[in-house]
Amino acid sequence: MQIDQQKLIEYYGDAPDDISLAEIDLGHLPSHVSIIMDGNGRWATKRGLDRAKGHVAGVDSLREAVTTSVRLGFDVLSAYAFSTENWKRPKLEVDLLMSLFAKTLVKELPLFHQENVRLKLFGDLEALPDETYRVFMRGLDETADHDGMTFALAVNYGSRAEIARAAAQIAREAKEGLIDPDDITPDVVAAHLYTAGLPDPDLLIRTSGELRLSNYFLYQLAYTEFYATDTLWPDFTRWDMLRAVRSFQHRSRRFGGV
Ligand code: FPP
């Protein structure tokens, strides 16, 4: 995506000591950055607050991550907001998250319009509460024609379920004679995932010091560069994104070659 360099320089005003925009090669930026946002609960607990406050603070970080990604010209920013396993959390926390998703999306739609961001959602959305589902559908509908960055949120998402769903769809197509089983290539599988049509992530960021994939993008991350930071998600800023990009730019990506 095109970068407005002047806007970017203004956006990255006063730099902290350890990182600056000058260290970044603007001609070699990742196209798709994905984030496992982790540490909201610990952020709140550390401050003697209810976990819910951590999620509310996490929304601010996510808003900043979207703006930062637009400024840096990423084509896609994706983020893991709620996994198929997160239903195991206390009902009060699940309810809070579901209503936070709906409220936040309504509140942030003007930002999506202003920044020409298209929304995508990955996961089993039909299992979500009515209000959340309705607002999500509205978000998809209202931003469908935007042709700037794609912002994809994984909600009620699990990678194994996604792959099983793709396998079932392909099996149905084979049964109907639409595809020959011998023609099922990795690209065909990719075209049946939620991420169909999007590039695989170049860079995966996980916050809060955990080093797990947590059933996220198991197929899509085959050649993705990882960046793990101890920073808790509500503390993650535009500078942390720059640190992650700097690290990405120092990797030698060989995609299995030499
Ligand atoms: C992980 O922290 C975070 C989540 C499960 C929820 C992610 C949601 C947000 C950041 C809010 C985003 C809002 C919208 C609208 C998408 P955790 O609770 O697992 O933290 P812990 O590991 O410290 O307990």
Instruction: Express each pLDDT in 101-130 by its tens digit.
Output: 999 999 999 999 999 999 999 999 999 999
Written as six digits, the tokens of 103 are 């409220």
3 is a domain residue: no
Task: Identify the domain containing residue 75 by its residue range.
Answer: 30-157+201-249
CA distance 181 to 183: 5
Total count of domains within the chain: 1
24 is a domain residue: no
16 is a domain residue: no
7 is a domain residue: no
* CA 44 to ligand 1: nearest atom: 23
Q: What's the mean pLDDT in 223-243?
A: 98
Whole-number pLDDT of residue 1: 86
Nearest CA to ligand 1 atom 8: 81
174 is a domain residue: no
Pick the catalytic residue from 86, 200, 215, 235. Answer: 86
User: Is the pTM for the entire model greater than 0.95?
Assistant: yes
124 is a domain residue: yes
CA distance 238 to 132: 28
Q: Report long-range pairs for 2-11 (Cβ below 8 Å, ≥24 apart).
A: 2/73, 3/29, 3/71, 3/72, 3/73, 4/71, 7/71, 8/71, 8/72, 11/67, 11/68, 11/71, 11/238
Instruction: Express each pLDDT in 10-62 by its tens digit.
Output: 999 999 999 999 999 999 999 999 999 999 999 999 999 999 999 999 999 99
Domain harbouring 153, CATH code: 3.40.1180.10
2 is a domain residue: no
* CA 45 to ligand 1: nearest atom: 23
Q: Is 38's C-beta closer than 6 angstroms to any atom of ligand 1?
A: yes
